[in-house]
Structure 1
Amino acid sequence: MIRRFYIIAFTLLSLYSYGQNIIFQPNINHKAQILKQNLNLTQDSLLLESKKTIKQVDIFNNDFLKSITVDSTKTAIALNKLPIGKFIIKARIDRKRIVMYLEKRSHNDKIIASTPKSKTQDTEHTSSTQSISEISKDNNSLYWVVYESNNGFGSHKSMSLKNIEDVNKMITQIKLEVQSKVGKNNKLLVYEIYNRSKFMTKQLRNHNYYKTHKSRFFNVIPIYDSLKETKNKKIKISS
């Protein structure tokens, strides 16, 4: 009985500790009331719901960008793989851009409770106000990855910047998925980026920028296409 009590207590403490490293600031502007914005109980997912269709959700800062195609009235966005830092979250509903803010901290950091911003908070914001972290200055070490999941439960599309290690893992994963009955229609595209900041600016303004036929900021020809199984020699799948 005592052992069971300790196990339950330890589990609850773990959930509490995990949740404490996420600070979420919803948009309380009256124009943003069309969108319900909450974290789940364990604070590892962002829950968004609206009577109107949520087209897309962008999560970004100066060093990170991830775009998720939703095309639904509700969605749950996993935050557990989000890197440490401060982020702007932009949800697109019709022509509106509803902006929220989120900070993910290390467990070792002291959490200070956040207070809601004024009701004059904008519903449109296009850039982060400060640099959160410094990543590799070598733009060629980053890749734009487009992943599409198509199965009997529905479709999901996510786009994000990845390093070479993450790309290798995703290539290995997609090769396994397409061999299964459930994941045979899944797709993966990988583009090499030449100028991270310029590419991110263009991509945020135009959801389909990565489909352009000409650019100085990235290689418009995918260096990996799961449908064609063509990959650049630079990408080596680790065994």
Structure 2
Amino acid sequence: MRQAALVTGGRRGIGKAIALALAEQGFDVAVADVVASEELSAVAADIAARGRKSAALAADIGRIETHESLLAAAETALGPLTTLVNNAGVSVLSRGDLLDVTPESYDRCQAVNTRGTFFLTQAFARRLLKKEGGGHPSIVTVSSANAVAPSIARGEYCISKAGASMITKLFAARLSDAGIGVYEIQPGFIETDMTAPSKARYDALIEGGLTVIRRFGTPEEVGRIAATLASGLLPYTSGQVIQADGGLLSVRY
């Protein structure tokens, strides 16, 4: 059975890598980002170059009234969707003291990372449940190691990602009887444009043993994990959390 995926936040970094990994695995893929751009179109072109159907779609998942039109546009381009990858997210407006977090920054993280992710997942799940089964329908949410590990300079981000983590558990419990796989990936230090400003600082900490594997991860490694989950290659699993963090969250003594 052919499979088709929508990847949010697919312009670059982890989202782009996931989209390309899915294409390599045989998926048709639509990539969405908050605005249309040459970068986003280039990702769609890379997918097409692999012999798959593709589409580049502009969508702000924080605006839940646009979710149905986003899913409809993806299905117009690809046919019925079998997979949703929730990768879109925002960080804090500025790092700083937890006591100085503003409502604006808090609400922004919640609107996209938690509220937007929840309602897009809900809309996608409703569509899946109306279709006949086949293949491995799936939902993969990319959260963060900060869903578990507090970072007091980014408190509002941590809270939003903890909420995103619970979304996976909830939908896994709700959808398992329908044979829909629901999974979460918690990336640690991944080498992207977003992490570039702090890479030198964390390189030193990683070398000192902050992670078990002493290097940054790559988007391609996260992409391979997402494609594995979406393809149903981890049987008898439900609501699994894959910590793609080089052992950052492992307990050591």
Both proteins in one fold, TM over 0.5: no
- Higher-strand-fraction structure: 1
Question: Which is greater in Rg?
Answer: 1
- Higher-helix-fraction structure: 2
TM-score normalised by length of structure 1 = 0.33
